[in-house]
Chains A and B, each alone.
Chain A
């Protein structure tokens, strides 16, 4: 059974058709990349999966580990193991990073029927994971994403992913705003979490990120449908010929 199953997803925003029948199966242990030009529906797809208000499916179905997500609110989906790394992480003034992480982790643990981590155990784990993402203690004391650089924001996203241990992670344009060094740190962080029980969906414009996070499958999204799927070589084809060649061929 697929870990994430998108069946014929249709979605409208302001009466405009954005997703026009997206279907995708993601199995355990796999990394999928979804590529597409601006306006192809990539971000809409990620919001739809995460259950953002206003992004409800008009038609179709999504299953996470066999369970339909349609009736679930965003927070239930998150607790069930769906994680979205935001393209633009949101600032939360006055909300300390460490306490935010803790609330999030404990929500997930509660859902899984695990005991809440005691304060010391939590801080220890958070610091350990943070050091892997080159996130300093000082940054965890600051308010979430407030005054963070582009790189810091993305590192903090992946740190949250590491702490929450999701079954399916969607990385929305995680490479945007990153220089090469930061891209390497973020990619290493993501790769360290690849295992045989989870799956990752990388959404990106550029092939560049896929040099670091090597996908098993690549899909091209255009006008709200997947027009072509293939292996990593498909990304290189995009790099070489641009999207237009592929779209015209389709």
Chain B
């Protein structure tokens, strides 16, 4: 379609002003620039951590020094100077708060700009939100109600103080400190994140939700999340992100570990909308995340659902280790890359137990000059008799300058297991666009409709309120891609 001047102007307006691009004026307390053993000690000291955790951090730091950055992903970016990053920055608000009234009004304003009405969410949505602002959690809501059920939902820094045995037992148990370069870095310098514990037999009555913000300029954010769900228990966890506009790249290297015991179920949903950089790829977040769930117990189940629209570079493979017999791993993903964005994302399903089952549904959408890679590993180990995997990877291309790549790795060591892989690549056809236009939809509405149709299988896995947000987000992030 030939774009009208009006459309072009509109697109320029949208792409030049990232909706969430603003900086909150808050006094921050920073660690000195760069990374060293002293900085690791500084962070640990700031957080008044026990010695075992400091030792653990230092071990990770030493391991990290011996490692090299992975270069196998299909992404290109200038070398990161790890000495040019602030590893700790906390708003000068006291983290101990009894109610939201005590939260810095500047902070509350920021959330308002983001369209997160805190009180409304508390009251209406019944969602408990653990706000992470820069690196320190400042407000945790609904905790009491959850406590009645025996559920712990708090910043991990608090869990270190109040539930040290649980943290000590499980931190690093799914993702060891030396797992990969970024995980090692995170282990050394993580500042905060969420901790969830759901005891035996408890079905968490509400969806737990965290909004992440990266605020302090140049402060890499290193989140650490740990979720433990005991026998017969259930939790659904939502993670949603937006970040202010930046000219300098910001590094984000989070680690998320999930542990599911016998008959436990964890549903982990992410909508990621970090600043993707400008049209030429300047600025934007580097999102190098390690997420892994351990289906430790029999018949346990872990589902990852992700909608990835932001970040300049995404390097992310939420995975499941299916140890327990008859355990189930699922991965539902929509990855949108527009303009100069690069996404290399996928999953790993490691089948160890008997009759384990995994499903992978990946939808990649590329527009502009973006490159979008699905990279997935399905490994069926020797004793995983009767295990099954089904993988479906669909790519949608918008325009003729973008790329879609599918890189499946399948290692099967058991004859009785079954692995299926289906992949398709398609383009939004002229016919489809013209049909929609002829019905009065403009080209952006039409694209959004077709793309959301393409993603439907994944979207239906998201909790309702998230699905609506995600649909809008996909529309916004593809604005101007058809013209």
Residues of A whose CB lies within 8 Å of any CB of B are 50-53, 73-75, 78-79, 83-84, 86, 89-95, 99-100, 103-104, 107-108, 111, 143, 160, 164
Residue from the list A79, A90, A108 in contact with B435, Cβ < 8 A: A90
Residue from the list A93, A111, A164 in contact with B454, Cβ < 8 A: A93
Q: Using Cβ atoms and an 8 Å threshold, which residues of chain A touch B450?
A: 92, 95
Known: A51-B437, A103-B439. 17 other contacts (CB 8 A): A53-B1, A74-B434, A75-B438, A75-B446, A78-B437, A89-B435, A92-B432, A92-B449, A92-B453, A93-B454, A94-B454, A94-B455, A94-B457, A99-B449, A103-B445, A107-B445, A143-B453
Residue from the list A51, A75, A143 in contact with B443, Cβ < 8 A: A75
Q: Which residue of A lies closest to B4 (CB)?
A: A73
Q: Does B206 contact A (CB under 8 A)?
A: no
Residue from the list A50, A90, A107 in contact with B441, Cβ < 8 A: A107
Contact call B440/A75, Cβ cutoff below 8 A: yes
Chain A to chain B contacts (Cβ below 8 Å), 16 pairs: A50-B434, A51-B437, A53-B1, A53-B430, A86-B435, A86-B438, A92-B432, A92-B435, A95-B453, A103-B441, A104-B439, A104-B441, A107-B439, A107-B440, A107-B445, A164-B439
Q: Which residue of B lies closest to A163 (CB)?
A: B439
Q: Which residue of B lies closest to A96 (CB)?
A: B453
A74 to B452, alpha carbons, bound, how many Å?
22
Shortest CB–CB separation between residue A11 and chain B, in angstroms? Answer: 16
Residue from the list B434, B446, B453 in contact with A53, Cβ < 8 A: B434
Q: Which residue of A lies closest to B429 (CB)?
A: A90
Contact call B438/A84, Cβ cutoff below 8 A: yes
A73 to B452, alpha carbons, bound, how many Å?
23
Contact call B449/A100, Cβ cutoff below 8 A: yes
Q: Using Cβ atoms and an 8 Å threshold, which residues of chain B touch A86?
A: 435, 438
Shortest CB–CB separation between residue B216 and chain A, in angstroms? Answer: 41
Tell me whether A108 and B440 are in contact in the complex, defined as CB-CB below 8 angstroms, given that A90-B432, A90-B435 are known contacts: yes
Contact call B449/A95, Cβ cutoff below 8 A: yes
Residue from the list B432, B442, B456, B457 in contact with A75, Cβ < 8 A: B442
A108 to B445, alpha carbons, bound, how many Å?
13
Q: Using Cβ atoms and an 8 Å threshold, which residues of chain B touch A107?
A: 439-442, 445
A111 to B442, alpha carbons, bound, how many Å?
12
A50 to B245, alpha carbons, bound, how many Å?
41
Q: Does B436 contact A (CB under 8 A)?
A: yes
Report, as a range, how many residues of chain B touch the other chain: 20 to 34
Residue from the list A89, A93, A94, A164 in contact with B440, Cβ < 8 A: A164
Q: Does B2 contact A (CB under 8 A)?
A: yes
Q: Does B431 contact A (CB under 8 A)?
A: yes
Q: Using Cβ atoms and an 8 Å threshold, which residues of chain A touch B446?
A: 75
**Residue of B432, B440, B446 with most chain A CB atoms under a 10 A cut-off:** B440
A73 to B5, alpha carbons, bound, how many Å?
12
Residue from the list B437, B438, B439 in contact with A100, Cβ < 8 A: B439
Q: Which residue of B lies closest to A160 (CB)?
A: B439
Residue from the list A73, A93, A104 in contact with B453, Cβ < 8 A: A93
Q: Using Cβ atoms and an 8 Å threshold, which residues of chain A touch B445?
A: 103, 107
Q: Using Cβ atoms and an 8 Å threshold, which residues of chain A touch B437?
A: 51, 73-75, 78
Q: Using Cβ atoms and an 8 Å threshold, which residues of chain B touch A164?
A: 439-440
A74 to B439, alpha carbons, bound, how many Å?
9
Shortest CB–CB separation between residue B453 and chain A, in angstroms? Answer: 3
Q: Which residue of B lies closest to A145 (CB)?
A: B435
Contact call A78/B440, Cβ cutoff below 8 A: yes
Shortest CB–CB separation between residue B361 and chain A, in angstroms? Answer: 13
Chain B, 1-46, CB within 8 A of any chain A CB:
1-2, 4
Q: Which residue of A lies closest to B363 (CB)?
A: A94
Q: Which residue of A lies closest to B439 (CB)?
A: A104
A75 to B445, alpha carbons, bound, how many Å?
11
Contact call B436/A94, Cβ cutoff below 8 A: no
**Residue of A89, A92, A99 with most chain B CB atoms under a 10 A cut-off:** A92
A94 to B437, alpha carbons, bound, how many Å?
18
Residue from the list B439, B449, B456 in contact with A78, Cβ < 8 A: B439
The 4 closest A-B pairs by CB, nearest first: A94-B453, A107-B440, A95-B453, A104-B439
Q: Which residue of A lies closest to B446 (CB)?
A: A75
Q: Using Cβ atoms and an 8 Å threshold, which residues of chain B touch A95?
A: 449-450, 452-453
Q: Which residue of A lies closest to B459 (CB)?
A: A94
Contact call A73/B2, Cβ cutoff below 8 A: yes
Q: Which residue of B lies closest to A84 (CB)?
A: B438
A162 to B432, alpha carbons, bound, how many Å?
21
Contact call B2/A90, Cβ cutoff below 8 A: no
A108 to B437, alpha carbons, bound, how many Å?
11
Q: Mark B89-132, 1 if CB is under 8 A from A, else 0.
A: 00000000000000000000000000000000000000000000
A107 to B431, alpha carbons, bound, how many Å?
20
Q: Which residue of B lies closest to A77 (CB)?
A: B438
Residue from the list B2, B436, B443 in contact with A92, Cβ < 8 A: B436
Shortest CB–CB separation between residue A209 and chain B, in angstroms? Answer: 21
A92 to B438, alpha carbons, bound, how many Å?
14
Q: Using Cβ atoms and an 8 Å threshold, which residues of chain B touch A75?
A: 437-438, 440-443, 446
Q: Which residue of B lies closest to A105 (CB)?
A: B440
Q: Which residue of A lies closest to B434 (CB)?
A: A52
Q: Using Cβ atoms and an 8 Å threshold, which residues of chain B touch A143?
A: 453
A108 to B430, alpha carbons, bound, how many Å?
22
Q: Using Cβ atoms and an 8 Å threshold, which residues of chain A touch B443?
A: 75
A93 to B1, alpha carbons, bound, how many Å?
21
Contact call A74/B454, Cβ cutoff below 8 A: no
Q: Which residue of B lies closest to A91 (CB)?
A: B432
Contact call A74/B438, Cβ cutoff below 8 A: yes
Shortest CB–CB separation between residue B431 and chain A, in angstroms? Answer: 5
Shortest CB–CB separation between residue B166 and chain A, in angstroms? Answer: 42
Tell me whether A74 and B453 are in contact in the complex, defined as CB-CB below 8 angstroms, given that A92-B436, A104-B439, A108-B440 are known contacts: no
